[in-house]
Structure formats: C-alpha cells, structure tokens
Amino acid sequence: MVLAPRIEIKQSQKLMMNPQMQQAIQLLQLTNIQLRERLAREMEQNPFLAFDAQHYREAGGEKGAPQTRAVRVQGRSGAGLGSDVVAVRVDFSASEASDMSQRLEQNLAEAPSLSAHLIGQIGEEINQREAAAVALELVGWLDEDGYLRESDAEICAHLNLEPALLSATLNHLQGFTPAGVFARDLADCLRLQLLAQDKLTPTYAAVLANLPLLGRGDIAGLSAAAGVKEEDLPVYLQTIRALDPRPAASFETQDEGVALPDIVVLEGEGGWQAYLNEATLPSVLVLERDWEEMATRKITDEERKFMKANVQSARWLKKATQQRAATLLRVARAIIGRQQGFLNQGMMALEPLVLRDIAETLELHESTVSRSASGKLVQTPKGVFYLKDLFSTALGGKARGSNSQATSSAAIKARIAEAVAAEVAHLAPLSDEALVALLGEAGIDVARRTVAKYRKALHIGSSAQRKRAAKIARAAANN
C-alpha cells in the first residue's frame, strides 16, 4: 500500500470568542463599583468616552492639562447633575494607535480576575464549539476557592450534558492555570498541582488519598496507608504543605472601604420591588459631536483609524453596559419577586429557589443568571445580602401531610440556629433527634444526618458539647 498526500475539504463548527464577547461576559459579572473602575480605565484611553465630572477626576483627569480640549458633558437625568465642562485627553500619537483587540486584552491584564483569566484560556485552547460552551458554563460554577464542588450527576442534570462531554471538558480545564483550579475537593486540588509540577508519584497519590488521617494527626496510620516509612513521611508532607489549597485566592479583589449595594429593595403598592442603585451605577457617554467634528478635519489615515476604532469601542461599551444593567435588573426583580416571604418575615421564610427557576422564568441561560447574581450586594429590609444568598435548595416538606411544602435549606438552618439560641443548654440542650422532631412539628421532614450537617455548618457543637460548655461557663461565673 502506497501512502500519498491528498487534499480534503472538511466542515466544522468552532466557538470563536472575540475580545468583545469576552468583555461582555466580564461586564455582567462585575459589581457596580468594579464597573466604574473598569470604565474609568477605558476613559483614560478613549477620547470619545466620558462620564460625570467627578468620575473623570477620579480617573486622573485635570482641567487645563496639556494636549486636552474642553467638551460639554450632560449629566444623567435624575442624578442631580447639570452640564459640566471637563477635559478629555486627545493624543493621536502613533504609539497609541492600535487595534481594539489589543486594547481590550490590555484592560483585562490590568485588572485580572479568575473568570477573565480562565475565559481567555478557553478562547485560546478549546476549539470545539460544544466543549467551549460547556467550559464557559463551568467557570460560573466555581466557588471562591476555585473548586467545582457539584457532582458530575448534578452538573449533567442542570446543563443537560452527556457525562462523556463533561468529563472530557473538565479534564481539559483542570490543566489550566492556576494549577488546581476546577478541582473537586482539597485532595484533587493538591493532586492537580503535583501533576503540573510533574511530581505526582504513586506515593504522593497515596498520601493525598488518605488526607483525613493527616487531619487527625495519625502519622503512623498515614505512613502505613501510603506505604512509606514514618521517618520518610515529613519529606512528602513538606512538599504538600507548600502547595496552594486555594488556587483562586490570588485573584480575589481587595475591596477598600464599605461595600455598597448594587441593588436596593423598596416597598411599593404591589409588595417589595428591586431597583438598581443609581448612586453606584455609572453611565457611559459617547461624545458623538466630537467625533463628527474631528472626522471633518484634515488628519492622517492613522489618526482617522485611531479615532474610528475608539468611537466604535465607545458605542459598543455604552450598549454593553446598558444591556448589563437591564439584565441585572430583570434577574434581581425575578429573585425578589420569589422571596417576598423572606423580605417580610426573615430568613426562616426564604423560599426554595435555584438558578434554573429564574432562568426558566426569564428565558435566560442559567449561566447568565449566575453571572448576573455573582458578587452583587442587595440591600433589603432584613439587611444587606449577596444576591446569591437568596438562592437555596429545597428540602423536607412531607412529615405533616399533603398540605406541607418543601423548605429551603437556608430556612432550615435559620430554624436550627434559632432553636439552639433559645435552649437552656445546661439543662436540656437539643440533640439532633430533638431538632428533627422540632422541625417535623413545623412540617419539615429532614433526616438526622442533614440536621447534623447543617448544625456543623453553623459552627454549633453537639448537644453534649453545648451542655459541657454551659457548665464550664456557669462555674466560671459563680467563681
């Protein structure tokens, strides 16, 4: 058989993420304060972008600076602003003339986030359309440590995926930087980091598989389970301790001052309603008249190209921020509409609610709802919460007959905390079985192990521990 070169035509679909698509995803995840900072950096580079005068000065502009011109900027209606004359930088040097993709990449590099970092890698390394779409979804599922905590079955059910596609995509994502991201638990995170360093030997794998022994201080048991001499074990433990258990930590934003809410909830005739916090929501102004004026001047092709790219970027940024605001408001109002009981009665009345419920109501994708709610603070009559705190899975609801309803896990935790706070610990602390019975009287049917899990999550000790602590406190008070 003789092999010979030949030409074939093959058709395939790929998800191509241009810089604007990447930035649109970025904007949706930003809080109002983060959005202001991003827009301020854009304004410094784009002569056709402007906001109110104060925002410009915060971005570093000064009236009368060299190579500037005065333009009139109309403040946003309802914000208490009149017409202000502010300086907008204009400099058509060749060094500043570049295409928009390079500028957007630069902006992302200046203020990196874990999502931006991962989305950039997805756009560069995953060419298959389906896998890229799944990868983008999974970015929104990561927790604050960079872990993907949900099980394969849960993810496949939520996203309607085939297990093989999820497995292949996840295997690719776990090779991204920072090493350890998309891990399922601590041991998996450390395993991925050792794998990236080419240090994952069978001994290290065995040590990681038995990390609970290390947590209990059972060095002898860990040595036996890992098949290594006890005196040789510290070398392996030293390497493991040098790894990062929170790969997303380096991407955490450092907030300064008091965090301001993105959403404000106010009471109206039809109940509680969500509104965007205008005090922190920036507006984007495109200086169209300046573009029209400059376009008529005699300028070089390079200068004209620079101006045209910037005005197009300004127009798109204005449209993208308006779309972000509209989507955020729709999602917030849908959530608040479902949680009227919580707003009236508190956490114990929080209704079961998951991303899919809001996505189906608004006909949006779950990832869009997730990104809209991510990191957003909402000011309610019950306090300031993250918007995602108003989501909670459903449990129980069958113990007291057909009229009982499912209850959110957050509401159950609140009931447990209230019951423990009201108990007389040194006389009759409530056991997990007693808490189960108490919840059952309220029509909430949950297992004892679920109560124990929630109690531990609330950092509440067992009934024996609480009784012992109460006795010690009483004895100290008497002395």
Residue 345 lies in a domain: no
268 Cβ contact list (under 8 Å, min separation 6): none
The tens place of each residue's pLDDT in the chain, 479 residues long, gives 556 666 767 665 555 556 666 677 778 888 888 888 888 888 878 888 776 544 444 444 443 332 332 232 223 233 332 222 222 222 323 333 333 334 334 433 444 578 878 888 888 888 888 888 888 888 878 888 899 988 898 888 888 889 999 999 999 999 999 999 999 999 999 999 999 999 999 999 999 999 888 777 788 888 888 888 888 888 888 888 889 898 988 775 444 444 678 999 988 778 899 999 887 787 788 887 777 777 777 778 888 888 888 888 888 888 888 889 999 999 999 999 999 988 888 877 788 888 889 999 999 888 888 888 888 889 888 888 888 888 877 665 544 444 445 677 777 887 888 788 877 655 678 888 888 888 887 777 777 888 888 888 778 888 777 777 776 666 656 65
Residue 6 lies in a domain: no
Last residue of a domain, one of 211, 231, 246: 246
pLDDT for residue 167: 92
Residues 431 and 466: beta-carbon distance below 8 Å: no
pLDDT for residue 89: 28
Residue 431 lies in a domain: yes
pLDDT for residue 18: 60
Tell me, what amino acid is at 346? G
Residue 55 lies in a domain: no
Say if pTM beats, i.e. exceeds, 0.75: no
Task: Name residue, tokens 């009139």.
Answer: 72
Per-residue tokens: 312: 């197009």
Last residue of a domain, one of 230, 246, 262: 246
478 Cβ contact list (under 8 Å, min separation 6): none
Residue 18 lies in a domain: no
Last residue of a domain, one of 246, 267, 297: 246
pLDDT for residue 184: 93
Task: Name residue, tokens 């986030």.
Answer: 113
157 Cβ contact list (under 8 Å, min separation 6): none
Rounded distance between C-alpha atoms, residue 84 and residue 72, angstroms: 6
Task: Name residue, tokens 């798109």.
Answer: 316
Rounded distance between C-alpha atoms, residue 307 and residue 46, angstroms: 9
Residue 91 lies in a domain: no
Query: Could you give the angle at the alpha carbon of 258 between the alpha carbons of 257 and 260, nearest 5°?
Result: 130
Per-residue tokens: 388: 């995602």
Rounded distance between C-alpha atoms, residue 116 and residue 129, angstroms: 19
Rounded distance between C-alpha atoms, residue 88 and residue 47, angstroms: 6
CATH of the domain at 398: 1.10.10
Residue 429 lies in a domain: yes
Number of domains, the chain:
2
Q: Which domain holds residue 233?
A: 185-246
pLDDT for residue 396: 55
Pairing of strands 271-276, 263-268: antiparallel
Residue 62 lies in a domain: no
pLDDT for residue 330: 94
Tell me, what amino acid is at 262? D
